[in-house]
Amino acid sequence: MRVATFNINGIGARLPALLQWLDETRPEVVCLQELKAPQEKFPEAAINDAGYGAVWHGQKSWNGVAILARGSTPEELGRVLPGDAEDVQSRYIEAMVGKLMVACLYLPNGNPAPGPKFDYKLKWFERLIARGAELVASEVPVIMAGDYNVMPTELDVYKPERWLDDALFRPETRAAYARLVGQGWTDALRSMHPGEKIYTFWDYFRNAFGRDAGLRIDHLLLNPVLAPQLRKADVDRMVRGGEKPSDHAPTWVELDGCF
């Protein structure tokens, strides 16, 4: 079973690339971020025609998350990260796909830091850590996948010395991610590539992709029930090099068993 996460950076502009990738790779579950489309503009018909059911939480111009399932429709469990009733940003959705619980997230960028956006990022992270503590202890398999907007270590960023003051690499952000993973989650990509520079994002500027000047900011975390089923994890780099690409590449895990 393949589960992927993909920050699509505008599903309207990237729909052809998304459909091509779905046709070529056929993952069973896909978590999408940055739909940048209101709820009614999600291309449900095209996704259905590709063989996928979907649940999504859209937002005009910004944010937006979705969970796709091949051959079925995910059973939505919730579309708001608990902890702040006034937060209206579309950044989180949970669903069951068969027996697998899927949490799809788009953690705030937080720049410029310090400042109000960075404060929001850290508060959102605290809410995720609280929800993570519940999910990591679940008796069912759980995957928490998405764009976390954090490079956990120096291995996860090209020229880390240039990123010291960035919200994605500040000590507070990295410490929050470490606390989350420390609950008992397995960072699947790093687990499968422990000493490798492996990136999931390349900026559009300065030929970043051509120079492999990337970041690892898209993560798939597995709870202890699911982690023993992990067999592979990788990044579909070729998608980033395609026509009108997102600045992210799909990142995925392969799991044993039927969920």
Backbone phi, psi, residue 181, to 5°: -60, -35
190 CB neighbour count, 10 Å cutoff: 19
pLDDT at position 258 over 70: no
* Non-local CB neighbours of 95 within 8 Å, separated by 6+ positions: 55, 67, 69, 74, 75, 76, 77, 101, 102, 104
92-143-190-239 Cα dihedral, nearest 10 degrees? -60
Q: What are the strands of the beta sheet with 218-222, ordered from one edge?
A: 75-78, 92-97, 100-106, 142-147, 218-222, 186-187
Residue 16: band (very low, low, confident or very high) from pLDDT cuts 50, 70, 90:
very high
pLDDT in tens, 230-251: 999 999 999 999 999 999 999 9
Task: Determine what percent of the chain is predicted with pLDDT higher than 70.
Answer: 99
pLDDT in tens, 171-212: 999 999 999 999 999 999 999 999 999 999 999 999 999 999
Asked whether the beta carbons of 3 and 218 are under 8 A apart, the reply is: no
Question: Which residues are catalytic, by number?
Answer: 106, 147
Q: Could you tell me which of 113, 92, 117, 89 has the C-alpha nearest to residue 102?
A: 92
Q: Rounded to an integer, what distance in angstroms lies between the CA atom of residue 3 and that of residue 66?
A: 13
Q: Is 106 helix (H, G, I), strand (E, B) or coil?
A: strand
Q: Rounded to an integer, what distance in angstroms lies between the CA atom of residue 203 and that of residue 212?
A: 10
Q: Could you tell me which of 254, 225, 223, 218 has the C-alpha nearest to residue 239?
A: 218
pLDDT at position 259 over 80: no
Residue 225: band (very low, low, confident or very high) from pLDDT cuts 50, 70, 90:
very high
In the prediction, which pLDDT does 257 show? 77
Asked whether the beta carbons of 85 and 71 are under 8 A apart, the reply is: no
pLDDT in tens, 138-180: 999 999 999 999 999 999 999 999 999 999 999 999 999 999 9
